[in-house]
A and B are shown apart, each in its own frame.
Chain A
Amino acid sequence: MRVHPRYTQKAALALLGGATLLTVAVLVFIIFFVLEKGLPVLSLSFLFTNPQDMGRAGGILPTLIGTVALPVLALAIATPLGVGTAVYLTEYTRESGLTKVIRFGTDCLAGIPSIIFGLFGFIFFVTVLRLGWSILSGGLTLAFMVLPTIIRTSEEAIKAVPASYREVSFSLGATRWQTVRKVILPNALPGIVTGVMLGIGRSIGETAAVIFTAGSSLRMPHSVFDSVRTMSVHFYILAREGISNQNAYGTAAALIIAVLAVNLTAYWLMNRFIARRS
């Protein structure tokens, strides 16, 4: 039996629309659920005072610092490494068996569960390199975790730079490195920034990898060699050990707002770049 295209068209519309609606609904539900429970707790003093009694009372200042420090350190390490690798793969090598192996490797790396990174970080940075549970161990581990994302998004962004820009640059006597610096990277910047923002987004909420490498100390860290607790780890511990559901949700709300802020900044930056180029 043949169904008239008009009906299949309607069915497709309903299905696709439904899927979209469901996605948005789930997202909105989660955000509202957390904010509804967490916002009443959230206040400036909650954010900027030290916790007391393991987080049962007081605020979350050290975890705020941890949540900023780890992604910043991770991205400060992963961005130059990742962009450098992407430039090397796209501009300095010709497509070959080796580049395929490297690309396959980074793709595999991207698919590894974060707890494995945590375990690796624990064994390598915390134990072998004797960095202990510290901001440094955590930052390095997160750097490796977000590296594949940064490499791949940067690669795509670099490949999207029109070939004619390279040609002109070379034809004017520029070296490959000058071409990379003056033409390719500026034009690939929106894509690279997107990758960095994705990396921040991924590392800001990371729990498993961080608990193993940065530890969960609630004391205020004084250097990158000190252990620190991030908001996601704090939330996990507060909720799991039944210390304070209220403060757990307050922390979760702060985390969600931070992630939203990162994403909004990313959009804003991208739009600004795009507006400037056209």
Chain B
Amino acid sequence: MTESAKVDIQGLDLFYGRFQALKSVTMAVRERKITALIGPSGCGKSTLLRCLNRMNDLIAGAKVRGRVLLDGRDVYRPGADVDELRKRVGMVFQRPNPFPLSIFDNVVYGMRVAGTHNRGRLREAAESSLRGAWLWDQAKDRLDRSALALPLDQQQRLCIARLLAVEPEVILMDEPCSALDPIATGKIEELMLDLKERYTIAIVTHNMQQAARVSDFSGYMLLGEMVEYGSTGKLFTRPEKKLTEDYISGRFG
């Protein structure tokens, strides 16, 4: 394959205490493409995703072995700057989780944390991020109102806007639509296709139609192992492994 790997995962093991949640996972997340992780619940999709920005560091007793290369450099190398990594690799969570602050303060949170306090620059960035998340028209007249007053799907897009404001390179999404209805889901999917023009995206989904609709590459996981990984078109029509075929055709999971 000629496309470059933005994130290259090589032989990754992860242990929660004694329990091995990832078993020698190897996979690539390609630049400006959408890569989907599918598989039955509990197979390790979220765990794998959270290795890419080291969110698993927050879990007591989680240990990692193997390599995760971001632009060729191991994010788990000794002395790596984790806060810096998380600015480059941002995350959208399963449930919309805005802070109990105003819409504006939510969007610029990451910028303020990074040391930007110039009101004009914050305004500008807030507008372009909200536009980027297709929320500007709904939000522009109530930037100072509480983010919690927004409907759920707008809250989720606010979380995306909040992420865009720190100008990440990679966006990780862990079942970003599972709390949303089909119409809102459709909108987020369209947004993802728009975002991939500029960002590299990895998404976890339990919804295979969703993976088929939006992703360019897919990985099918089972019990902590990467069973099959390849282009979405091929994985969904001509899978190489019997296990994948069973899952795709709905005989399992």
Contact = CB atoms under 8 A, between A and B. Distances in A.
Do chains A and B stick together as partners?
A: yes
Interface of A: 94-95, 162, 164-175, 178, 182-183, 187, 277-278
Interface string B161-199: 011001000000000000000000000000000000000
Contact of A172 (B58, B90, B148): B90
Interface residues of B, number: 25
B141 interface: no
A75 to B, nearest CB: 27
Contact of B97 (A164, A178, A187): A164
B55 A173 contact: no
A173 B83 contact: yes
A266 B113 CA distance: 32
Given A164-B95, A164-B97, A165-B99, A171 B83 contact: no
Contacts of A187: 100
Interface string B90-103: 11010101011000
Contacts of A277: 100
Nearest to B85: A173
Contacts of A172: 86-87, 90, 109-110, 113, 162-163, 166
Interface in B21-71: 53, 55, 58, 60
A178 B86 CA distance: 14
B114 interface: yes
Contacts of B97: 162, 164-165, 167-168
Given A164-B93, A164-B95, A167-B55, A173 B100 contact: no
Contacts of B86: 170-173
A72 to B, nearest CB: 31
A224 to B, nearest CB: 38
A167 B58 contact: yes
B84 interface: yes
Contacts of A170: 55, 58, 86
A183 B100 CA distance: 9
B93 A173 contact: no
A164 B97 CA distance: 7
B53 A171 contact: yes
A165 B159 CA distance: 12
Contacts of B90: 171-172
Contacts of B91: 171
Contacts of A183: 99
